[in-house]
Chains A and B, each alone.
Chain A
Amino acid sequence: MLLSAKQDWLGNIRGDILAGIVVAIALVPEAIAFSIIAGVDPKVGLYASFAIAVIIAIVGGRAGMISAATAATALLMVTLVKDFGLQYLLVATILAGILQIVAGYLNLHKFMSFVSKSVMTGFLNALAILIFMAQLPELLNVTWHVYALTVGGLGIIYLFPYVPVVGKILPSPLINIVALTLFVYFMGIDVRTIGDMGDLPDTLPIFLWPDVPLNLETLKIVLPYSLSIAVVGLLESLMTANVIDELTDTQSDKKRECKGQGIANIGSGLIGGMAGCAMIGQSIINVKSGGRGRLSAMTAGIVLLIMVVFLSDILKIVPMAALVAVMIMVSIGTFNWASLKELKTNPKSASAVMLSTVIVVVWTHNLAFGVFTGILIGSLFLAQRLSQFLYIESNYDEATDLRSYDVVGQIFFNSSDKFISLFDYKEAIDKVVIDVHRAHFWDITAVAALDKVVIKLRREGTDVSIIGLNEASETLLDKFAVHDKPEEIEKIMGGH
């Protein structure tokens, strides 16, 4: 492991450092913007981004991924900060970290498999919408200068990369910030600047224990926030890890990533930073800029801190419009535009899952609720579909006055009513044989349904016998370990 660690750190020094610098430049406006979303001083997001990026570089499970203060987690803190203040946010951050470490030890990352592609798309679209909505306060009730600056900024961001040579070397969001700042400064235009939004860091961060009473009352206040932050943070981090896995064709250690996010958040909280997680956009920028190793996240964090500490006087005069332009770019880039086209072509159920995820998130401002809704609706659709896999073949033997029912398919909570309705109870008959050896009883609702059928038939004076119950009920056992061998699965599912 030490050897692969060496490779992770030093395998791509030049690429990692250059990419780290590009990321650091992109992180500064985002960290400030996310602080503003959360309602705290810009320095809270900047310290957080430094701490999280650097700590994750060491303890994270996915080399090449960038973690920092994020919109997804910032959105969850708004009411906590408004009602109780920064100190409670710091406690919530530390507690979220602890919860994430616990989640890591409990292997909760495995639940990511429940998050379908539609839910993921919904997550990103909702995130994009929320980031955009968070910029609106800066764009409402302002002079026309702000609109002009924002549009100009966006123009620079999207067009500068087309400038020959320098366009591919210098990050265009940085050019946007520098250009707008110089313009506003020298033209003497009176618009809001970052300095108006609160304190910027002027020193290196220091270790600080949050100034709150450590009692049950505090726990009651912060726990719901911490839970949401922990869940959303892990969701976005694991999602991002999957994206980077795919881009770089390498594996990540998801369990280590969960624990790493936890440690990073605890570290952030202890130096006065807010909670964060992995950033999809920045991580892709990192890979695109040639970052593959752990060194790039480390570089990003350190360069970010150096930049803000030494440049805080200059940062103060950066117009908010430049920042808004960057965030609109992030929003546009995060939104999955293809998913709009796919609404027409994808199955309706997939679109419903995506849309419901988006709607719930935008409504509650909590990505976790959206994801849970998406998973729930997706599961219901699946249950609905699976319950169609059930039919009964019925035969009557006149000589013996015997009716045989041959049940084939999946019987579980959602198909049990259908199962019951497939029998003919009104037929006056001597004997009924129900052959279930080609059916599967997945839960106790299914077993109860079979009992119900038997009782109903008996009431009509029919003798009922059941064949093949052992095979049918094998799926009832919760011992999934039994089913992990191909021959075991074949034994159960064979004939279907």
Chain B
Amino acid sequence: MTVLDKTFILACIDDSEMSDSVIEYAIWLAKNSQLPIKFLHTIEHTHHSEHIHHEGTITPNMTEKLLNELSDEERIESKRLIADGKTILNKATEKAKQAGLTDTIAKQRHGTLSEALQDLEVEIEIMVLGLKGEERQSDTKGLSSQLEQAIRVINKPVLVVKKSFAIPRNLLLAYNGSPTSKKAIEIINKDMFSTQLLNIHIMNVDKNLDTAKRLANEVETALLPLKCALKTEAMTGDPVQVFTEYQQQHNIDLTLMGSFSHGKIHGFMFGSFTTQMLRNGSSNFLLLR
């Protein structure tokens, strides 16, 4: 095995309140799977110049002067962000160590989260990130646009953390017979998720109740070997509404589903199912691509 073949649980952390849960979920996954954790902090240059001039004159050597000015400002900003990030990463590694995990890596990268993920994709086994990043903390309804971009760029499972950490007991599998939802069955069968599960709810929402029933039953057989209670549900109605209500009624900790299967244009025009689920749902989500 070369170094590149080594895969990680990638935990994307920042200064937001979700990060603590992200770290805890990563630790939980690491313990179940024996995979090492890589904590990732990205330094985003959203920096906008403080010293804005509106005098509008073209002066000699303007480019050089402006370049120096901007790079000086950004250097200070970057250094601060790197230092802040180091603190966040140290806290995370410390937490992992306390939980008995010594094989963790802390990594900082410049650029947006999705850029970092593109570069790291090959080594990701599963990724954990918070629903809202630091910039969006005050915005209760909105999803960070970063999140969708991040999920879209990589082809790996993503655990989106929306609630504080609790070992998942009740799992909801949104199943529609698509290749991604078949992947979902594979992943549940892995120890990483299944060992501590008590209930698995398999659910299909379709316009046609018969199809829904057939599809839901299809999964049950595949999941029978697991030592937890299986419950199959078939329903009709607006999927987002049906799923979110079900999540609340049955105390679902984790919802497993395919994500962003439509193109961006479709999502832009009609609103993406995934985005609506993430926004309105009451559980954490494991998204598959």
Residues of A near any B CB (own CB < 8 A): 1-4, 6-7, 11-12, 15, 18-19, 22-23, 25-26, 157-158, 160-161, 167-174, 243, 246-249, 280-281, 284-285, 287-290, 292, 329-330, 332-338
Contacts and interface: CB of A to CB of B under 8 A. Distances in A.
A169 B54 contact: yes
Q: Which of B55, B61, B62 has the most CB atoms of chain A within a 10 A radius of its CB?
A: B55
B44 to A, nearest CB: 11
Given A3-B145, A249-B74, A290-B48, A18 B54 contact: yes
Contacts of B76: none
Please classify the interface of chain A as helix (H, G, I), strand (E, B), loop, or mixed, using the class held by over half of its residues: helix
Contacts of A290: 48-49, 52
B57 A3 contact: no
Given A3-B148, A249-B45, A249-B74, A333 B53 contact: no
A285 B63 contact: no
B58 A337 contact: no
Contacts of A172: 55-57
**B interface, size bucket:** 20 to 34
B56 A25 contact: yes
Interface in B55-114: 55-64, 66-67, 70-71, 74
26 contacts: A3-B148, A7-B145, A11-B46, A15-B52, A18-B52, A19-B52, A19-B54, A157-B57, A161-B55, A168-B55, A170-B55, A171-B55, A171-B56, A172-B55, A172-B56, A174-B56, A247-B66, A281-B62, A284-B62, A284-B63, A287-B70, A288-B53, A288-B62, A289-B54, A333-B59, A337-B60
Contacts of A26: 56
A243 B64 CA distance: 10
Nearest to B263: A2
Contacts of B49: 290
Interface of B: 45-46, 48-49, 52-64, 66-67, 70-71, 74, 145, 148-149, 264-265, 268
Contacts of B264: 1-3
Given A2-B265, A172-B55, 16 more contacts: A3-B145, A18-B52, A18-B54, A22-B56, A167-B55, A171-B54, A246-B67, A249-B70, A285-B57, A289-B52, A329-B58, A332-B59, A332-B60, A336-B61, A338-B61, A338-B64
Contacts of A288: 52-53, 62, 66
Nearest to B45: A249
B54 A333 contact: no
Q: Which among A157, A288, A334 has the highest number of chain B CB atoms within 10 Å?
A: A288
A290 B57 CA distance: 14
A191 B67 CA distance: 40
Contacts of B71: 249
A292 B268 CA distance: 24
B48 to A, nearest CB: 6
A289 B51 CA distance: 9
Nearest to A160: B55
Contacts of B48: 12, 15, 290, 292
**Chain A to chain B: the 9 pairs with minimum beta-carbon distance, closest first:** A171-B56, A333-B58, A290-B52, A161-B55, A281-B58, A26-B56, A22-B56, A337-B60, A3-B149
B53 A168 contact: yes
B74 to A, nearest CB: 7
Contacts of A22: 54, 56
A4 B152 CA distance: 13
A11 B73 CA distance: 19
A169 B53 CA distance: 7
Given A3-B149, A246-B67, A247-B70, A333 B62 contact: yes
B56 to A, nearest CB: 3
A243 B63 contact: yes
Nearest to B47: A249
Contact of A173 (B56, B145, B149): B56
B136 to A, nearest CB: 14
Contacts of B149: 3-4
B117 to A, nearest CB: 14
A130 to B, nearest CB: 15
A336 B66 CA distance: 15
B60 A285 contact: no
Nearest to B69: A288
Nearest to B62: A284
Contacts of A246: 67
B172 to A, nearest CB: 28
Given A15-B48, A290-B52, A292-B48, A173 B57 contact: yes
A172 B58 CA distance: 10
Contact of B145 (A6, A167, A284, A292): A6
Nearest to B64: A338
Contact of B58 (A2, A249, A334): A334
A337 B59 CA distance: 11
A289 B264 CA distance: 33
Contacts of B60: 332-333, 335, 337
A65 to B, nearest CB: 13
Nearest to B52: A290
Contacts of A4: 149
B56 A330 contact: no
Nearest to A289: B54
Contacts of B148: 3
Contacts of A23: 56
A158 B57 CA distance: 8
A171 B66 CA distance: 17
Nearest to A11: B46
B143 to A, nearest CB: 11
B66 to A, nearest CB: 5
Contact of A171 (B57, B62, B70, B268): B57
A284 B66 contact: yes
Nearest to A286: B56
Contacts of A174: 56
B57 to A, nearest CB: 5
Contacts of B265: 2
A26 B57 CA distance: 8
A438 to B, nearest CB: 35
Contacts of B145: 3, 6-7
Contact of A247 (B46, B57, B63): B63
A26 B59 CA distance: 13
Contacts of B59: 329, 332-333
